[in-house]
Structure 1
Amino acid sequence: MNDKKRLNSYEDLPLVLDVADIQRIMGISRASAYELVHTPGFPAFRRGRLIKGSKIAFFEWMAKGSETVPGSDK
């Protein structure tokens, strides 16, 4: 996804998200985005060295909430 493109709606997102897309959606650092995609239960898959995730699965995961938050002691 073009980093300069402004996200105005859900429809603006590609069907398959990469780590940079997740970073921009959530407003987190690149390191935090990589930590997030490696969290157990996060809806991502690897294709070679690329990490991708379904837009639908990502937003369902966000709506459901996460039991563990990366970087927290809880």
Structure 2
Amino acid sequence: MTKLLLTVSEAVEALSISRAKLYQLMNSGAVPYLHIDRSRRVPVAGLEAYIAGLLTERENAA
């Protein structure tokens, strides 16, 4: 079964960005996350939407 939620470490690895940058994106609302007990989990669909948004911005700027 494919994972639906990633840990912060897994999301950092998937995006190839720093942990600090991911927290910045989460705190700004650019990347959604959930609290499960005391842990943050990042939905894979949220990462895909973030990437799609970046690509759309890039296409519109061109």
The TM-score normalised by the length of structure 1 is 0.56
Unaligned runs of 5+ residues in structure 1 are: 1-12, 66-74
- The alignment covers a number of residue pairs equal to 54
Match of 1:59 in 2: 48
Measure, in 1, the Cα distance between the counterparts of 2:33 and 2:7: 9
Cα deviation per residue 1:4-51 (whole Å; 9 max; x = unaligned)? xxxxxxxxx622112111110121222222222222242211122211
Contact 2:11 2:42 in 1 (8 A): no
Please tell me the residue identity of whatever aligns with 2:26: V
Q: Which residues of structure 2 form unaligned runs of 5+? A: 55-62
Larger relative contact order (CA 8 Å, sep ≥ 6) = 2
**Closer/same/farther in 2, CA of residues 41 and 32 from structure 1, 3 Å limit:** closer
* Residue matched to 1:5: none
Scaled by the length of structure 2, the TM-score of the pair is 0.63
Of all paired residues, the percent bearing the same amino acid is 23
RMSD: 2.1
Flag as ranges the 4+ runs of structure 1 deviating above 2 A: none
More helix by percentage: 2
